[in-house]
Amino acid sequence: MSHEMDPTQPPAPTPGKRKLRSQLWFDNPDNPGMTALYIERYLNFGLTPGELRSGKPIIGIAQTGNDLSPCNRHHLELAKRVRDGILAMGGVPMEFPVHPIQETGKRPTAALDRNLAYLGLVETLYGYPLDGVVLTTGCDKTTPACIMAAATVNIPAIVLCGGPMLNGWHNGERTGSGTIVWKSREELAAGNIDYEEFMEIVTSSAPSVGHCNTMGTASTMNALAEALGMTLPGCAAIPAPYRERGQIAYETGRRAVEMVWEDLKPSDIMTREALENAIVVNSAIGGSTNATIHINAIARHIGVPLAIEEWETIGHKIPLLVNMQPAGKYLGEEFHRAGGVPTVIAQLMSKGHIRENAMTANGKTIGHNNKDRKIGDPDVITPIETPMREEAGFIVLKGNLFDNAIMKTSVISKEFQDRYLSTPGDLGAFEGRAIVFEGPEDYHHRIDDPSLDIDEHCMLFIRGTGPIGYPGGAEVVNMQPPTALIKRGIHALPCIGDGRQSGTSASPSILNASPEAAAGGGLAILKTGDRVRIDLNKRSANIMITDEDLAQRRADLKGQGGFHYAGNQTPWQEIQRSMVDQFDEGMVLKPAVKYQRVAQTMGVPRDNH
């Protein structure tokens, strides 16, 4: 077959100019034996030698859509439009699977699979003849897993978000995914609805393809992918079923080819300035506390220092602009129609909160992309002059309970503020008796135990739920009060733990505690009945015992062989537990962070025969 060339497409590189990495597989005259071996099998399903030897960029489509991942499944269709865009710009598409991650399907937690998907994608991007990649994202952990891998390998990469579901409705009220679960649990516990009504209400929140339609971790991480500059402008918030989602899939495919010719890589985009923009945008949208873990992981893999304390110093004073559940009223469709992430960025730019010179995937700066965006509905995206809340970012607490933990201030309700943060002479602080649970099973088993004597002055603690202890870090810190308190109208107690909570939860929990109990953190020595003081002004969280008692408890714990937690159930659980870092460090695999810009620092992998 002839080595045909299409004169309308970019020419193959000439001697002395940069060759694409895929040509070292498919068109390497210096090694004809290996070139023939590599190319022959890729012809067996219909590709031509001309396509593979033409110097056209080979663009991977990292496919996260599958039947086990319903939030991402529509990427199976969107990939067709990505292919069309790649072909239109003279590229060759190659679609491949990414390890499935589904937040609502995987036990013991989908967080366990983020690093596993990351590892597999690193090997694919580095070890196969790919010049660039389109990363399909959606459900919570798929977005950071894909971006972390792209950061490590550092070939041109662009994110295609899957988009949220359409709005859920029940009896004329919006039902937001996740958020309605927590609300309906309270109604069920109070006896206001029965089991069948509970199921009907909760399932109404999932009316179409797409990920969570609330500002949970899925919407948050896709919004932050855009804030990082890794998507085309406006990509994050388009609802999954909208025609614009297919249109931007096509444009993303086209852009991926251009990025290869421009050699625009993740390291050119995800700079310190981009990471700061992500923190700022997270505050403005009322984003998930899980963002701290994932953005810090991305920072470590791209090699940009980012401390957990900077989520407060950079983000705390940023106002809340997006009126979207769980911090507000509306859902994904309204957020998109109001202007989505570009409009939020434009509002933040007007007050100097955005690093406008940060580069983005379309080859233009974030300031250029968003400077003229207008608010489509001021009730959904408020003007920055009249925000929903003046200071909406996270605060970082420290003390003898942990070195650091996160609290989301944008979801502090009036009920919580009045009961716990408004004590005359001690505003912003509260004390209480600790009720300690050893994981979610213990919590569910004992929360209504009358012998615990839980009242509104108690604090609920949960431990053994972190990266090592669970393993993977469970979304269990948002614990509801005992049924008796709910029936009295007390809908929230202070909740503290070394696990995570769903980004769809409106609970102002203190969570992501690092180090976790399983790693020797202070939660390991806490006892039910201890007095605990939380002071938001001082950013402190302490067991109210003497230093001598504290030292004795630590010695006793060491004598007992440390904090005990559930054993491993699979090989991967053992592997991850042996090398995983804590939440504040991104929950990354410790040995992985030394591998950076692999495509440049390690060259092309050795031949396989």
* Dihedral class, residue 372 (left if φ above 0, else alpha if ψ from -120 to 50, else beta): alpha
Chain centroid to Cα 180, Å, comes to 20
When pLDDT is averaged across residues 524-546 and rounded to a whole number, the result is 98
Cα dist. 464→142, 412, 511 in Å?
A: 25, 25, 12
How do residues 122-173 score in pLDDT, each as one tens digit?
Answer: 999 999 999 999 999 999 999 999 999 999 999 999 999 999 999 999 999 9
Distance CA 332, CA 221 (A): 14
pLDDT recorded at residue 12? 45
Cα dist. 368→233, 317, 348, 349, 365 in Å?
A: 10, 25, 14, 11, 5
pLDDT recorded at residue 190? 86
pLDDT over 50 (residue 607):
yes
pLDDT over 70 (residue 449):
yes
Distance CA 272, CA 59 (A): 27
Buried b (16+ CB within 10 A) or exposed e, 326-347: bbbebbbbbbbebbbbbbbbbb
When pLDDT is averaged across residues 465-486 and rounded to a whole number, the result is 96
Distance CA 374, CA 366 (A): 15
When pLDDT is averaged across residues 574-594 and rounded to a whole number, the result is 98
Distance CA 111, CA 572 (A): 12
When pLDDT is averaged across residues 573-588 and rounded to a whole number, the result is 98
Indicate yes or no: pTM above 0.85.
yes
Distance CA 89, CA 474 (A): 43
How do residues 312-364 score in pLDDT, each as one tens digit?
Answer: 999 999 999 999 999 999 999 999 999 999 999 999 999 999 999 999 999 99
DSSP helix/strand/coil, 61: strand
pLDDT band at 605 (very low <50, low <70, confident <90, very high): very high
Cα dist. 449→442, 464, 523, 542 in Å?
A: 11, 21, 22, 26
pLDDT over 60 (residue 2):
no
Number of helices followed by number of strands (H, E) in the chain: 23, 14
Cα dist. 25→20, 32, 35, 36, 602 in Å?
A: 10, 10, 6, 9, 16
Q: Is 40 exposed, middle or buried (0-12, 13-18, 19+ CB in 10 A)?
A: exposed
**Residue pair 140/69 in contact by the 8 Å Cβ criterion:** no
Amino acid identity at 525: I
**Residue pair 69/100 in contact by the 8 Å Cβ criterion:** yes
pLDDT recorded at residue 17? 54
How do residues 292-320 score in pLDDT, each as one tens digit?
Answer: 999 999 999 999 999 999 999 999 999 99
How do residues 159-205 score in pLDDT, each as one tens digit?
Answer: 999 999 999 999 999 999 999 998 898 899 889 999 999 999 999 99
pLDDT band at 15 (very low <50, low <70, confident <90, very high): very low
pLDDT over 80 (residue 46):
yes
Mean per-residue pLDDT of the chain: 95
pLDDT recorded at residue 16? 36
